[in-house]
Amino acid sequence: MGLRDKASKIDFAALLTPASGASTELKSPKTAPGAMMAHANDARSELLRENEELRGRAARTTELEAELAEAVSDLRAWDGAKPVRSLDPAQIGRSRFANRHASSYLGDDFERLKREIMEAGGNVQPIKVRPGKGGDEAAYEIVFGHRRHEACRQLGLPVLAVVDNLDDKTLFVEMDRENRERADLSPWEQGVMYLKALEQGLFGSNRQLATALGIDPSNLGKSLSLAKLPDDVVAAFATPLDIQLRWAPLLNKALEEDQPGLAKRAAEMAAHRGPRGPKAVLAYLVAPPATVSDVAAVEPLTLNSNGKKAATLRFDAVGRAALHVHRPLSAAQQAALRQMAEDFVKSL
C-alpha cells in the first residue's frame, strides 16, 4: 500500500482530540510518514484556530457597525445644536444694540422673573451670547436675554448661555426676533434698537430693515418716530415703556405744530406728574396750547345738597368733563339731567 493510500485512511479529526485519560503531550514521530502526518495535523489545527478567530472578529465587527449606526443616528438628532455653558455673569457684557431701558429691570414683572430664577437655581431658559472682541470688552456679548442675565447677576447665580459666533447683522436679527416672539419689548425700546441699527449702517434703508426683520414698514416708521422723540417728552412719562405705538402720529403732530409748547408741557408734566396714568400724560402733551393753562388750574368740584355731598364734577388734563352723582335719581330727575346735558352739548 502506498503512502497516499495510507494517508487517505487516517482520521485527522480523531488525531486532534486526545483519547480519554491519554496524555496530551504528543510524542515526536519516528518515521517520515509520521512526520508528514504531524505536520498536516498542526497545519489543520492552525487553520481551524484562524477560522474561529475570524468568525469572532466578524461577529464583533457586526456589533460595532450596529453601535456606530446608533451613535450616528443620535448625533443627527443634535445636528446644528449649540452647547449650553454655565458662565459668570460678570464675564458677559450688554450688546451695543441693547434695547432694554433701565426701567425694564424694575417693577413687579422683573421681581417675578428674579423669584422664578432663584427658585429654579438659575435661568432654565438659556440666554444667547457671542464671544467678545477682546481688549477692554467683556469675554462675551449678549445676543438676547438681557433681563435673564441681569436677574442672575443680581442673584449671584451663574447664567446658562448658548455661545455662538455671529456677525453684527445676524446678532441684530436674532435679537429682534427673540424679543418680538416674547412680546415683552415696548414700542419705544424696539424703536431705539431699530434706530441704532440704521445709524450704525447695518441696513441701508428702512425698507431693507423691515424686509430683513419681516415687520410692517408702517409700524417700523412709528417705532422709529417714538425713538426720535425729544428726551424731555419721553421724560414726561413715568417710564418710556408706557409709550404706545398708536400714539406716534399724535406726538409727531404736536412736535411739528408746536414744539416749544410741547416742550413746556412736557417739563410741567415731568415736574408735577402726580398720579396721572400714561393716557392722561399723552392727553396733556398733545392738548392745544390755548387750553392747557386754563385746564391745568381746574380742580374737581364737589356739589352739595342740604349740606351733604351730592355730586362731583371732574376734568381731565385736556378739559374733558365727568359728572358723578352720588345719589340715586328718580325717572323725572334723570330726564331733567339728560335734557340739561343735551342743551349744554348743543352750545359747544
Q: What is the pLDDT of residues 161-190, one digit of tens each?
A: 999 888 888 888 888 887 776 656 788 888
Q: Convert 168-219 into a string of H (helix), E (strand) and C (coil).
A: HHHHHHHHHHHHHHHCCCCHHHHHHHHHHHHHCCCCCCHHHHHHHHCCCHHH
pLDDT of residue 40: 64
Q: What is the pLDDT of residues 152-165, one digit of tens each?
A: 999 999 999 999 88
Q: What is the DSSP letter of 31?
A: S
Nearest partner of 311 among 336, 329, 335, judged by Cα: 329
Lowest mean pLDDT among 51-60, 292-301, 305-314: 292-301
Greatest mean pLDDT among 3-12, 139-148, 265-274: 139-148
Identify residue 30 by its one-letter amino acid code. K
Question: Which residues have a Cβ under 8 Å from the Cβ of 243 and sit 6 or more positions away?
Answer: 186, 187, 188, 226, 229, 234, 237, 278
Locate the DSSP E strands across the chain. 84-87, 92-93, 127-131, 140-144, 159-163, 301-305, 308-315, 321-325
User: Sorting pLDDT into bands at 50, 70 and 90, what band is 280?
Assistant: confident
Q: Which residues are 312's β-sheet partners?
A: 302, 324
Total residue length of the chain: 348
* C-alpha dihedral (143, 146, 151, 157), degrees to nearest 10: 20
pLDDT of residue 20: 47
For the chain, give the percent of residues with pLDDT over 70: 74
The three cell numbers of residue 38 are 504531524
pLDDT of residue 134: 63
The three cell numbers of residue 127 are 440666554
Buried/exposed code over 120-150 (b: 16+ C-beta within 10 A; e: otherwise): eebbeebbbbbeeeeeeebebbbbbbbbbbb
Q: What is the pLDDT of residues 187-205, one digit of tens each?
A: 888 888 899 889 888 888 9
pLDDT of residue 161: 92
Q: What is the pLDDT of residues 9-62, one digit of tens each?
A: 555 455 445 544 444 454 555 566 666 666 666 666 777 777 777 777 777 787
